[in-house]
Each structure stands twice: as structure tokens, then as C-alpha cells.
Structure 1
């Protein structure tokens, strides 16, 4: 039992095994929360509106690929709740610079929020990883800042 609890609030508590890593497999549209090699939870995800390939610069609509960390959280997100991904790293800044562009930033795992409509495409973000609002409530409770996240093609 994972031990998630809530009483009508978007803020849940969690007392299960520590999430030691997040794994995103873009081609599967899946997010895995892991405790060592054990999968604790799996979520369906949406990606940036141009889902193939690694994010190269601000505005390209791609979701980054590589190793990052959860580095912040936003309890007041317009997308219900969100946890930040440490994009861009040194490699990302160098790649964007070679292209004469800015790398962008503000990549998050977030919910859909009140403005999301059922008619929106599966991949609709500007490069973030989107989940259902109930899912981000669990993720927000389970994942701590500093947790590594590997985003694979």
C-alpha cells in the first residue's frame, strides 16, 4: 500500500517508500516513479506539442531528454500543482548557444488545471510533462526536491 491520503485538498500526504528516481519514456508517454529498481507508480503523460527529439531552444515545443533533477515546486501553479525539472543544464545551454538561441526553461511536471479541455491534443504543452490533476497531487506528495529524473526518447 502506498499510503497516499487527502481530505478534499489538493495537498496529499505520503508515507510509503522513498521515490529514488523518476523515469520518463517519451515514446511510451509514461512516467514511472521508482524506489531503486521497483516501480511504485506509473502515469500516462502528455508532452510538448513537438514531442520528438530533445529540446534545443526556447519555443521549439519539445520536451528535454537526459538526466535532470526535481529542483522546485509550485503549489500555486495555473496547472493545479507542479514540480520543476532542472532544465537547462550545461549541455542544453551550449546547444542553444550554438544555434544562436536561448535554451528556455520553466520545464515542469504539472497537472492540467481548469483551462484544459477534453478536445486538446495529447501533447499540448510548451515542453513540460503533463498528467491528470489527481496524478500531480500524488506526484507532488511522493517526490522530493533533488530526486533525479531521467527523460528518455
Structure 2
């Protein structure tokens, strides 16, 4: 105990020694924080989903503001081709409207299908589907809500927890672009 106290005193008295709290203060001073907007702390300029990582990112310009673990459609590999394939689409869309009374705890609509998605599905004689959303858990999940975490269980939507969809709902405006990557 005495040796430790002596060593600590010696180290702290060395010229050029910087304490951890001082290093943290310097680091915090160098971190660029986006300017707050009137509506919320950060202006979300884009949502990016990386299906293979099972992650959804909220971006302010190039900066990742928030990251969420997601669940996808039961058949997650590849682009959505038609209604019922249980795939989550890939491509660039918009978050164009929201539903606070959905079958899931809040949902934000993704503008799938694009004209190209419609054309491709129709050329095969299929319906491209629609109603692809970012949403929370089923309204009837109750005590089993924990069981949905880490599973791909949707029909092609992107699911997060109810607390997370509340946060996304408050941070993301209608009209925000979303890129869904493989």
C-alpha cells in the first residue's frame, strides 16, 4: 500500500505527466458536435440500413448519430421481388409517412415499391407488395417482447424495439432518405 502511494506520487510529479481527466477534457474539446435544430438535438439527413450487419444508422451528413440493432424479413438475403417473399427491399427510398395506430407499436413507411420495383415484379406477373415499414414490436407481444430480439421475424419490414422506434420517430422527419444496403 505504501509502495503504491509512493509510486503514484512520483508518477504524478513527473514533468509532462497528464492525468486521465485532463486527457478526456482535451478529447471532448476536439469532438465536433453537429449544431442542434429547433425540432431535435440533431438533424437526421439520412437513414442507412446495412442488412448483413443487422444495423440501422441515423446520419447527420457523414456523422453517425445513432445506431440500432434490427430484425428483418424472414428471408433477408437479396432484394424484395414480390409480395410474400419475406425479403426486405434494397435500394434508395424515402420515409414518407407514419402510423401511430399500426399493428405494430408505431411504424414509419418506406416508399417501396419504386417505379423500377413495380416494373420488375409486373414483368414476372407478380405484385411487388408494399407497406414496408420501420416499426416496433407487435402490439400483442406483451411479456414475450424479449423473444423478438436478434431474430428475423418480419414479412419484409425493419423492426426495432418499442423504445427505439419512439426515438427514431422523434428524430427522423417525413421525407428523410433511406438507403437499404445488402
Residue 128 (structure 1) aligns with = 157
Structure number with the higher helix fraction is: 2
Unaligned runs of 5+ in 2: 1-32
Alignment equivalent of 2:176, drawn from 121, 144, 147: 147
- The root-mean-square deviation of aligned C-alpha atoms, in Å, is 1.6
Alignment equivalent of 2:167, drawn from 126, 138, 142: 138
Unaligned runs of 5+ in 1: 3-13
Could you say which structure has the greater relative contact order, defined with CA pairs below 8 angstroms and 6 or more residues apart? 1
Q: Which of 1 and 2 has greater Rg?
A: 2
Structure number with the higher strand fraction is: 1
Residue 114 (structure 2) aligns with = 89
In 2: Cα distance, 1:20 partner to 1:96 partner: 30
TM-score computed with the length of structure 2 as normaliser: 0.74
Could you list the structure 1 runs, at least 4 aligned residues long, displaced by more than 2 angstroms after superposition.
113-121
Alignment equivalent of 1:109, drawn from 110, 117, 134: 134
More displaced stretch, 63-72 vs 108-117: 108-117
Contact 2:40 2:170 in 1 (8 A): no
> How many residue pairs align between the two structures?
142
TM-score computed with the length of structure 1 as normaliser: 0.88
